[in-house]
Structure 1
């Protein structure tokens, strides 16, 4: 399967094509509410209750202000005793305290709810990222989308939900306060509702600007993230200092940040202009509303208490109306990013469905690679071009060639990590493409030259996700010679293999190589693929490894990739690759007798270890 990822221009077109309609708003709300409700049902329900409670408390404050003003005016006229103020004052104080308490609890609950949503989204995003085909990681467009998803998947779904909750709470508040205002001066409510129109007109453009800016800046943000990683990574630290790269790379980071800040400044100016226009329009409507209120007071249509309550209601209602439209804007703006996230998640789901198939055989008689071709995305020439070979059960098969000949790509195809563009890989006449990918990978133990050194306990570096068994861990370490290094660690196999974490220890390159080999041994798969398995071993260790390779494999089938011809002499069959093709095949003796590329390269390497004759 070839996975294509959306170009930034197409993303912007796609975003603009999504009409801002009530139907789209409802769709975004349903999707986000479902996500948040599934991630944290009880905190979400509590948040909704608190939003409604806060809205009702706000309306209650307006009524309490009116009651208090009536009491104050009655006391001033001598109609009511001063003690009559105690009740209204106490009521306003209690409502104000409850509002503050509700806000405090809501803030804490909101934070917890956000983290629960973030955890749920991380689970989904990481699941998708590990499900997409390995080929996707050869595409820069994939990395751009992955960065945006990593940045937005954690925050945007909850931002949509928070926008919904804000809209809900503010809407309830607006209805409650609006009802209060209607009871005082009905004509003022329609004027205040008009105050949201300018925000509606400007918010859509602001949302599009924000999404376009994020898409445009993705490559720059990725570059800054990469430079930050290189300048602070432990593995890079020695070379950064050896070549004094701190200054040049730091300058490049500063230049990239400067470019970003320039674009950000222009972007924020455009948003500020739009926001100011919306706010100015709302202020004009508010001024007109207050003017009408003054006119009503001047005509004697409103008393002092009603006027005071109306002023409070107007101020509160204006804030709630603005919050409603701000919440709607937040939903739409985050919805654009959420679409991007959902598309990525669908990609992972589709990849998972397409990877399903029949279970891979637990054992096989032969694996055949038949006329396989493969080209990397954007590649000018195929990495594999009509490659054919056969691996029979119990054999040790070597694939040799110069750098760039296609050896590692072939290893990935054999391991089911790449699907060929043409040709087939068959397990006992069963096309590998019809097999379930997870099942297939469980039948192959593959260790690459650039294997991962996990900053985890030694035992977990060996089990690599397989069920843990102490006896098997120790057996794998003994079989590959890793036991001598691991058993001498402070906590043995529980020691973290990195100084990144407290109590951790570091291994040498050769020791790590043995741990990686133990990882392949532990999996107990019928097919073992080893890519340059001795690259970090010294001459003695390399000799010991290949001398005992058949014993270590314990009858399993092995394909090992190497550019060291001295290590492949004992292989049952040797395939020689050049420019993506298999150009020779046979055992060591027959290939030397052939006098072709194998014999030439073997002789060149052997000459480096022999004294020149007189």
Structure 2
């Protein structure tokens, strides 16, 4: 499976997504408690992320509410001045003052709105950063075993695409509710002063929208959950079509047309689902808005009726008309804010569960490695990947002594890399024990095994950074030592070609950025090996360390391995049996179990699995020699 596939977790199905959709939608009866929990969670997050900006947002919202109420009185003042111009006692200066007041209040409203927009943008980015911190804490803190589970990727993708922005949306909803309530109270008092019957009619107009918006929120959440897998599949296809590493194979096999068809089919299906979803939402929206409009129209008819009865004057009626329209907008804002809170709340529940993920195999902080190392022993070690019934490693016993080079060999799928990850502390054993100097690592401080092991895998990461960074990442928590970087590069055979780069060890190892240079596969492998040597751990795990090396480089690596290790122990995985024949002990894995172990000579004399596989590999070269 490629890195892109693993990164998107595309091996799962949609069953889990449907399960989450049913499980996450809360019953209406718990709405008050949910509302409090969602609001408190979101406000605490925003308060932590950008306290002063949030305070100013609330202040501006309240100030804007006061301006709205003031505008109603200013309108009444202006209308009264206009209607009184024909009277002997009329004063033009009074009318001018009213117009100026209305203009000033309108300008203040616009200024407050503009400043609010800027503050909202800043607070939004601050909240996004805080949420990224929490997401990254989980994604880098949970055990590696989680990354073998498609369910984990479903939730990770949903949080990454939807829930990161939702806390601020809830906060915006809360701010909108605060502003709507404050402005609504001012307008309500004003409207009640004109005539008390107008107020309850307007408040009733907001109820249909509030009820239908709840249903819309549930539809939106279910749609996003159901689309998790298809969106990931579409994203992965786009990576294949645009990625630099994939470009050569896409062209070599002529895959562009086929992958484009797949991408278009996925997008077409998404648009069809989106259209159906939006139509369902539109039905509820139309019902709510139409009912609200009917109630608003009835309120305006009542206002006209009151005017005809002479219970409201012309100026007051004009101001009341403006107040009705403004209060209607505030009611809409109030219901919209509540809808935002509940709709985002469904995603936040998902987010809160994600950021609270903890398990027994979570990644604790790596601690300082032990000062001594005499042996590492695996006893009856068993490990099964999530969703599988057959163990990948089954009741394995392995011992690595101080200064020893121990080899793991076997056919593909025999469990070599899985066992290497267990030795490196990346996977916990489901059964059995791992002993460091006779002590169970489960009783040692968390992270001891990882901190004490340097590991380089066959599919190592090629960081698009400088050569120095690529090597020093072997021990990122220690102060950078240029001397150690060069010593590690020398030990792995990378020193010569890294020195020849335009900026030496500071040259970016990529063509993606200006001034960068790319390396060959063999050169990259030497850099990766240098990364493991830089860690200076007592135990080194090398998974196929010579797969990209030419025969001469491979011979040089293995012939000088003991000297390079300088007393450290090594677990070497290789499918080339000739490269591990000088190991102190060789373990042969078959179907996740140790089929046999011993030195090369011992295993050859037994004529077992090792001897058979060794002879098969050697026969190709012997035949070539015979032909020659």
**TM-score under structure 1 length normalisation:** 0.96
- Root mean square deviation of aligned Cα: 1.8
Rounded Cα–Cα distance in structure 2 between residues aligned with 1:154 and 1:192: 35
| Residue pair 1:211, 1:337 contacting (<8 A) in 2 also | yes
**Displacement after TM superposition at 1:37 (Å):** 0.8
Rounded Cα–Cα distance in structure 2 between residues aligned with 1:359 and 1:486: 30
| Residue pair 1:527, 1:558 contacting (<8 A) in 2 also | yes
**Displacement after TM superposition at 1:98 (Å):** 0.9
Deviations 1:525-583 (CA, angstroms, capped at 9, x unpaired): 11110100000100000000011111111111100101100110111111111111111
Question: SS at 2:84's partner residue?
Answer: helix
Runs of at least 5 residues in structure 1 that lack an aligned partner in the other structure: none
5 Å-filtered alignment, 1:445-456, equals 445-456=454-465
> Are 2:595 and 1:586 equivalent residues in the alignment?
no
1:300 pairs, out of 310, 322, 328, with 310
Question: SS at 1:76's partner residue?
Answer: coil
Aligned equivalent of 2:522 = 510
> Are 2:120 and 1:128 equivalent residues in the alignment?
no
Deviations 1:203-225 (CA, angstroms, capped at 9, x unpaired): 11111101111111111001001
2:283 pairs, out of 256, 273, 280, with 273
Aligned equivalent of 2:229 = 219
* Number of residue pairs aligned between Structure 1 and Structure 2: 610
| Residue pair 1:131, 1:352 contacting (<8 A) in 2 also | no
1:403 pairs, out of 408, 412, 415, with 412
Deviations 1:294-324 (CA, angstroms, capped at 9, x unpaired): 1100000010110000000000000001111
**Displacement after TM superposition at 1:276 (Å):** 0.5
Rounded Cα–Cα distance in structure 1 between residues aligned with 2:27 and 2:434: 43
| Residue pair 1:133, 1:417 contacting (<8 A) in 2 also | yes
5 Å-filtered alignment, 1:352-367, equals 355=364, 361-367=370-376
> Are 2:85 and 1:75 equivalent residues in the alignment?
yes
The structure-2 alpha-carbon separation of the partners of 1:107 and 1:460, relative to structure 1 and needing over 3 Å to count, comes to same
The structure-2 alpha-carbon separation of the partners of 1:351 and 1:389, relative to structure 1 and needing over 3 Å to count, comes to closer
Rounded Cα–Cα distance in structure 1 between residues aligned with 2:553 and 2:446: 35
Rounded Cα–Cα distance in structure 2 between residues aligned with 1:173 and 1:439: 59
Rounded Cα–Cα distance in structure 1 between residues aligned with 2:361 and 2:592: 29
5 Å-filtered alignment, 1:227-246, equals 227-246=237-256
Question: SS at 1:17's partner residue?
Answer: coil
Rounded Cα–Cα distance in structure 2 between residues aligned with 1:84 and 1:497: 75
Runs of at least 5 residues in structure 2 that lack an aligned partner in the other structure: 1-11
> Are 2:346 and 1:326 equivalent residues in the alignment?
no
Rounded Cα–Cα distance in structure 2 between residues aligned with 1:360 and 1:512: 27
**TM-score under structure 2 length normalisation:** 0.94
| Residue pair 1:411, 1:531 contacting (<8 A) in 2 also | yes
| Residue pair 1:37, 1:44 contacting (<8 A) in 2 also | yes
Deviations 1:424-459 (CA, angstroms, capped at 9, x unpaired): 111122222333443321111110000000111111
| Residue pair 2:407, 2:585 contacting (<8 A) in 1 also | yes
| Residue pair 2:21, 2:226 contacting (<8 A) in 1 also | no
Aligned equivalent of 2:577 = 565
**Displacement after TM superposition at 1:378 (Å):** 2.1
Question: SS at 2:514's partner residue?
Answer: coil
Aligned equivalent of 1:315 = 325
**Displacement after TM superposition at 1:360 (Å):** 5.8
1:526 pairs, out of 538, 545, 548, with 538
1:174 pairs, out of 168, 173, 184, with 184
Rounded Cα–Cα distance in structure 2 between residues aligned with 1:519 and 1:359: 18
2:156 pairs, out of 146, 157, 180, with 146
| Residue pair 2:441, 2:448 contacting (<8 A) in 1 also | no
Rounded Cα–Cα distance in structure 1 between residues aligned with 2:82 and 2:362: 72
Question: SS at 2:400's partner residue?
Answer: strand
